[in-house]
A and B are shown apart, each in its own frame.
Chain A
Amino acid sequence: MNVVAVAIVAWVFIGLDAGLRDAFALGDTNIAPSFVIAFVTFVAMYAAPPAALWAALLIGLATDLVFQVPGLDGGRALTVVGPRLIAAVVGAWLVLTLRGLVIRRNPLTLGFLAGLVSLVWCSALAGLFALRHAVSSDTGLIPSRLLVEGLASSLYTATVAALLALVLMPLATFLGFSTGPQGRLGRR
């Protein structure tokens, strides 16, 4: 894996999430695709396992730092490190366990796996914030709402990821991934 190339593309995808996510939102809801989830899934599909997990951890950390969480009762917005980082690692782990069973060169595969990762991601976020609320309720988030919106966003993310595959797959060589034929259970 070309670490510099992956970092640059990750930077672009975080920028896409920060700038474009709202434009794709359905009505006044927070149901919108996540470009970062699609990229984490793509990296986990092609990179070696430790590299994929480290990449997920660092991308998750970056998104945790970039996107703030609203404070309780309209209070100060918070920088909370951990939820997306953990969600990204769990999502990458899921892809690593499934990638041997799928046809990676099919663009729909990225859509399918990104949808699954998004489901896990959103469930993890909802669960983690429910846990945090039990410890200290200092954020203005409602875990049940996060879960519902997240589940709906997963379908959306899957659709967008399938389209993004058409852009990402040609970039695989630039990112230092091998797209050669794969064998059983992920052995290439």
Chain B
Amino acid sequence: MRAPGHGACARPRCILMTFQSSPGRSFFLALFTAATLFVLPAGVTGWLSWFGGLARTVVAPISQPMSTLGRWLKPSGVDLSHERIGAVEEEREQFRTLYLRESDENRRLRGLLEELRTLSVIDGTQRTRQIVAPVVASGSDLATGLLVVRAGTKLGVAVGDIAAGTGLQLIGRVVSTDFLTSTVETITQSDRHLLGVVMPDNPRAGDPEGLPCRLEPTGDGTLRGPVEDRRVLMSETPIEPKVGQAVRLRDPDRWPRAAQMLVIGIIESIEPAPNQPLRKIITVRPTIPDLARVQTVLLRISERDEPSSEGPP
């Protein structure tokens, strides 16, 4: 870097004249290279992510304390005063999620068996591992919903893995990984919609499967979308969603199995659809009020056993 003395002129013409020199040409060459890299499609510049990972690793030692300070100044809104109750509730929620997921899977498999009436090949090798990862950085001038967490490919994190929070609240999914860090996109800031199900208060009565819904982030920390019109079995009575009911993820085509039946949030308000008054639009708020402010996330890493051609030793 060429840095002339303090007598240097600061007028534009003087600056231009300074760049007639060889270091100046290097500067414009660097600028031109950056501009070229910018307009190239992501597929061509994918190798830059390695440097990005390196830069985030270098910045992490300073950004993590800042992030902790920031989250202390402006917490996510979870009341941690009753930790014991919180732990029990989390455990209950975990078993409830497990139960609902298995019920859902059971229903899916029954349907599959009914449909095919043949032997189905079911991948039973998938396991889920969990890692608690602290958030080391979040947000930028270009994006709010990206959390950088301290767990990367070194720990087995891969793109598409799930991030959950307290009470098995779905936070988002991993959209980028480096050796030591990963980037999680929160569900409330993503531009991707979610398919969920409004869980019935009493699964034995009315509709045991719940009301399917399609939710899109609104930008204010909530998700909004229509629920399917369903009737009580053997009756014409419509099943109505209620404020306070939990909404869980049921989107097997686009989310991994480890994410199914995680909590998306609680119904905050219900309104009739503008064009179809009989259909309802629900607004769902995550149980963690501000997903971008969480201090740690629970990464649920899907593991698959590699098929081995070798026999036992």
Contacts and interface: CB of A to CB of B under 8 A. Distances in A.
B34 interface: yes
The A interface, classified by DSSP as helix, strand, loop or mixed, is: helix
Interface in A134-155: 135-136, 138-141, 146, 150, 153
Contacts of A77: 146, 175-176, 183, 185
B143 interface: yes
A48 B24 CA distance: 13
A115 B2 CA distance: 28
Interface stretch (A50-58, A106-114, A167-175): A50-58
A5 B159 CA distance: 37
Contacts of B292: 22
A97 B185 CA distance: 40
Interface residues of B, number: 80
Contacts of A53: 15, 27
B66 interface: yes
Contacts of A11: 58-59, 62
Contacts of A93: 12, 15
Nearest to A70: B143
A67 B34 contact: no
5 contacts: A11-B58, A23-B69, A28-B144, A66-B56, A68-B146
Interface of A: 1, 3, 11-12, 14-25, 27-30, 32, 34, 47-51, 53-54, 57, 61-63, 65-86, 89, 93, 96-97, 99-100, 121-122, 125, 128-129, 131-132, 135-136, 138-141, 146, 150, 153, 178, 185-188
Interface of B: 1-12, 14-15, 18-19, 23-24, 27, 30-31, 34-35, 37-39, 41-43, 45, 48-49, 51-52, 54-56, 58-59, 61-71, 73-74, 136-146, 148, 159, 173, 175-176, 183, 185, 189-192, 219-221, 290, 292-293
